[in-house]
Amino acid sequence: MVLIVDKIKVAAAVLLVAAGIGGFYYLQESATVIRLAVFLAGLAAGAVVLWTTAAGQSFFAFAHESAAETRKVVWPTRNETLQATAIVFVFVVIMALFLWIVDGILLWVIKKLIGGE
């Protein structure tokens, strides 16, 4: 019985979000602020309804845990980021030159094989 109720709630949440999107486009002649408010209201109502389901509870718990894990990440310093970017840039330039030379050599070989210049 709980599974059926959850499915109905998920469907209602999807319909509320769809109503918000539909309202946004239906009110084309209205001010953008009103259209945006209708869209956000549909999105918020859908989120509230979805939050009352078991799937919604597990999703919001997962999102909360993901945010907590993101805060634990040790982000690189500005200097480390600049160094890594410089290394990537130099590597790309070297590979571009290498491929340009290989392309030129292969072009020259093909021209010689087919009797070109």
Average pLDDT per block of 10 residues along the chain, 117 residues long: 83 93 92 94 93 87 93 93 98 98 96 83
Whether 56 and 83 map to the same domain: the answer is no
Return the pLDDT at 54: 86
Burial 8-26 (b: 16+ CB within 10 A, else e): ebbebbeebbebbeebbee
Question: Which residue type does 20 have?
Answer: G
- Structural domains of the chain, count: 2
Whether 66 and 91 map to the same domain: the answer is no
Whether 30 and 84 map to the same domain: the answer is no
Return the pLDDT at 55: 82
Return the pLDDT at 117: 65
Whether 25 and 10 map to the same domain: the answer is yes
Whether 113 and 56 map to the same domain: the answer is no
Return the pLDDT at 3: 82
Which range of residues forms the domain containing residue 108?
A: 77-117
Return the pLDDT at 116: 67
Whether 83 and 67 map to the same domain: the answer is no
